[in-house]
Structure 1
Amino acid sequence: MFTFSEKYHYEKSIVINAPVEKVWQHANSMEKINEWNPWMKLDPNMKKEYSGVSGQLGDEFFWDSKQDDAGSGRQKIVEIIPAKKVKSQITFYRPSPGDAVAEIVLMPEGNSTKVTWSLDSEMKRPSNIMKPMFDYFMKKSYTEGLDELKKLSEK
């Protein structure tokens, strides 16, 4: 437990065969991100509410699910650089309270776009020994989400 840091970072990248401007259309607001966000599929009856101006600082999403794997919380855009980056603050209410920062970064690669999706949070001891298992689940979810973003962007 003491060999694992309390800081947690996960990131995954994908190259999408579409220009940055086209990919940006699917990553520029909370509502657009949720079109490919894999956690939105966990509960078809999840309550969802958006507030603020879509695609601007303060664009915010609240969710509430009766299912523990989806839980409840809010995600708010705290930094936006058009066609380059969206940074959001996530607050989890249930089942495990906590905070995280997520980033979606777009980098042109010729006629394609490299998308890097990352998450930073803290895992207090003794929970930090779960990092390898958490990495496994994050890899599965991030792969699913980025593959869906790729499908949407390459249409």
Structure 2
Amino acid sequence: MLKKILLILAALVVVLFAVIAMQPADFSVSRSTTVNAPPSAPFAQVNDFRNWAGWSPWLKMDPDTKVTFDGPAEGKGAKYAWVSQKTGEGNMTILESQANERILIDLIFVKPFAGDNDVEFTFKPEGNGTTVTWTMTGKNSFMGKAFSLFMSMDKMVGGEFEKGLADIKAAAEAPAPAAN
């Protein structure tokens, strides 16, 4: 009887591993919003990591996040690293910065799970405004595939992208401070 139970459990484990292995190897999460401002306004919010404190949903989750900057103040080569009790640890580097059009970022997660993802922001003129699109793509590790059985990456971070885009919109649409 014990032998049959162990065989059944072993078979279930094999089936579970097979199901996990068959999950998609790649993921992509993308959200967009329309900003009532020229592309230069939302572009400036993203191109300088120092501006992220005003709109990053992950920094808002943990105001005690330790952030460091390296390289140029903005654009290609700018670097940003964080350590947080709530959101983990990682770093970002701007790989490409095409003024008012596109920003490509290498996003590396160190903790709680290692990962290397591409993040792209695009800024497309639409009438008197700009459509801003935030996309993250990457590879699912075996653990990522297992986790996706219960919650997709889209469900996990899509809502946070929406919050961040809403705050980028608010910052980009805010009137410029009056000169003294």
Shift of 1:58: 1.1
Specify the SS of the correspondent of 1:26.
Answer: helix
Match of 2:11 in 1: none
**Separation in 1 of the partners of 2:23 and 2:43?**
35
| TM-score of the two chains, using structure 2 as the length reference | 0.79
Match of 1:85 in 2: 102
**16, 21, 27: which one aligns with 2:46:** 27
Paired-residue identity, %? 25
Aligned pair 1:108/2:138, yes or no?
no
Consecutive aligned runs of 4 or more in structure 1 exceeding 4 Å deviation: none
**Separation in 1 of the partners of 2:80 and 2:143?**
30
Q: Which has the higher strand share?
A: 1
Q: Which runs of 5+ in 1 are unaligned?
A: none
Shift of 1:127: 2.7
**75, 78, 87: which one aligns with 2:92:** 75
Tell me how many residue pairs correspond in the alignment.
153
CA contact (8 A) 2:27 2:153 kept: no
Q: Which has the higher helix share?
A: 2
Larger gyration radius, structure 1 or structure 2: 2
Match of 2:154 in 1: 135
CA contact (8 A) 1:15 1:112 kept: yes
**34, 43, 64: which one aligns with 1:45:** 64
Q: Which runs of 5+ in 2 are unaligned?
A: 1-19, 175-180
Match of 2:13 in 1: none
- 107 and 36 in structure 1: CA distance in 2 versus 1, 3 angstrom threshold: same
AA partner of residue 121 (structure 1) = G
**Separation in 2 of the partners of 1:137 and 1:109?**
29
Q: What is the RMSD computed on CA atoms of the aligned residues?
A: 1.5
CA contact (8 A) 1:30 1:77 kept: no
